[in-house]
Amino acid sequence: MSRKLSVMITGASGEIGHGLIARLTTADPDRPVITLDLNPLSADLAPKVRHQFGGSILDRELLARIQAEYEVDQVYHLAALLSTRSEFSPELAHKVNVEGTLNLLEFAQRQGESHGRAVVFFYPSSIAAYGLPTAAAKAAAGKVKEDEFNQPTTMYGANKLYCEHLGRYYGRHYKQLAADPHAGKVDFRCIRFPGLISAVTVPSGGTSDYAPEMTHAAAAGEPYECFVRPDTRIPFMAMPDAVDAIQRLVHAPREKLTRVVYNIGAFAPTAAEVERIVRAAFPRAEIATKVDEKRQGIVDSWPADVDDTAARRDWGHAPAYALDTAFGEYLIPTIRNRYAR
């Protein structure tokens, strides 16, 4: 039992969780971090957290137990089924991605009511929340703004877009007809991430996975078949910048935030550009293209780039890595090390 205000991370063993736990526990070693995930944390991360709860975000009894044992004033709700996996099991995706998020928002609301402070609730949305209808529309749109093209074609994208609305509801309008004010206990903050590329973990079940998969396969000396056309373009970001952006948004003064949901960008290469950089670093890489028309269709519905003016203005989004430095200074050296072991 800890009454010290704790941080709770769901989906902690996933790609973002991996980087986030390391950052949070280094920045503030005295702040307890608790995690909820179906899978255990890796051996290097496990000692950094106060308690790992093994289980599902759909298990309300487990959430009630955590509620009784911990006071939480920051939630990072990272657990989700990604976009490709969600298309194979849309109903399960809806359960995990939407009902799971509702459970966590309820958890945060109860926490806020019990200790009286607003609970900062960080929610990772995605460029999957956009749906551009045609290639011509995608080319003409360029950098899309948050409120444009909100017609996702995937279950995952629909789930993310709806949960952004749910978060706004809990943050601003919760039980608006009740006699006592209830809103304001959840301080919901959301980033729509581009495709993320980590040097230390490989994603699973996403549709932007071709860039990280290509890079990791080349370093591991394995052949890779890229499932999108070479001219396919979407925004990407190196994982350290994603974690950095989360921290900037979470710690921003509330009055500076003019939006609930923010785009963030860094670089937006085509698949061919990623391949060229990977081949330059790993000249023996075996990379072929075998287009999966269906997954291609999903990536084609995502924007070529995003307008992140609001994030830069309101909370100082400033990615450290551009395309060349993301690969040259972060991904390639770190990945080389990983596979050299």
- In the complex with ligand SER, the residue whose CB is nearer, 34 or 311, is 311
Instruction: Tell me how far, at minimum, the Cβ of 190 lies from ligand SER, in Å.
Output: 13
Q: Is 215 in the site for ligand SER (CB under 6 A)?
A: no
> CB under 6 A: which stretch of 101-109, 140-148, 167-175, 203-211 binds ligand SER?
203-211
Bridge partner list, 187: 120
Q: Token pair 């280094």 is at which residue?
A: 26
- In the complex with ligand SER, the residue whose CB is nearer, 81 or 332, is 81
Q: How many residues bind ligand SER (CB under 6 A)?
A: 9
Active site residue 156: yes
Dist. CA 258–CA 315, nearest whole Å: 10
* Binding-site member from 195, 212, 240, 303 for ligand SER (CB under 6 A): 195
Dist. CA 159–CA 124, nearest whole Å: 12
Instruction: Tell me how far, at minimum, the Cβ of 128 lies from ligand SER, in Å.
Output: 5
Scanning residues 67 to 86, which ones bind ligand SER (CB under 6 A)? 82-83
- In the complex with ligand SER, the residue whose CB is nearer, 73 or 213, is 213
> CB under 6 A: which stretch of 182-190, 200-208, 284-292, 312-320 binds ligand SER?
200-208
Catalytic choice (156, 170, 224, 321): 156
- In the complex with ligand SER, the residue whose CB is nearer, 72 or 104, is 104
> CB under 6 A: which stretch of 15-23, 168-176, 204-212, 278-286 binds ligand SER?
204-212
Residue 277: closest CA among 320, 338, 236: 236
* Binding-site member from 74, 126, 159, 263 for ligand SER (CB under 6 A): 126
Residue 315: closest CA among 160, 142, 165, 189: 189
Q: In 3-state terms, what secondary structure has residue 14?
A: coil
The amino acid occupying position 22 is A
Q: In sequence order, which residues have a C-beta less than 8 Å from that of residue 265 and are 6 or more positions away?
A: 143, 194, 235, 237, 305, 306, 307, 308, 319
Dist. CA 264–CA 278, nearest whole Å: 24
- Other CB atoms within a 10 A radius of the CB of residue 276 amount to 13
Q: Is 171 in the site for ligand SER (CB under 6 A)?
A: no
Q: Is 10 in the site for ligand SER (CB under 6 A)?
A: no
* Binding-site member from 52, 207, 215, 301 for ligand SER (CB under 6 A): 207
- In the complex with ligand SER, the residue whose CB is nearer, 207 or 301, is 207
* Binding-site member from 45, 72, 128, 304 for ligand SER (CB under 6 A): 128
Q: Is 311 in the site for ligand SER (CB under 6 A)?
A: no
Asked whether 319 and 311 are in contact (CB, 8 A), the reply is no
The answer to whether the Cα torsion of 94, 99, 104, 105 is positive or negative is: positive
98 DSSP assignment:
I
Dist. CA 179–CA 236, nearest whole Å: 46
Q: In sequence order, which residues have a C-beta less than 8 Å from that of residue 329 and are 6 or more positions away?
A: 321
Q: Which residues are catalytic?
A: 156
Residues of this chain that bind ligand SER (CB under 6 A): 82-83, 126, 128, 156, 195, 206-208
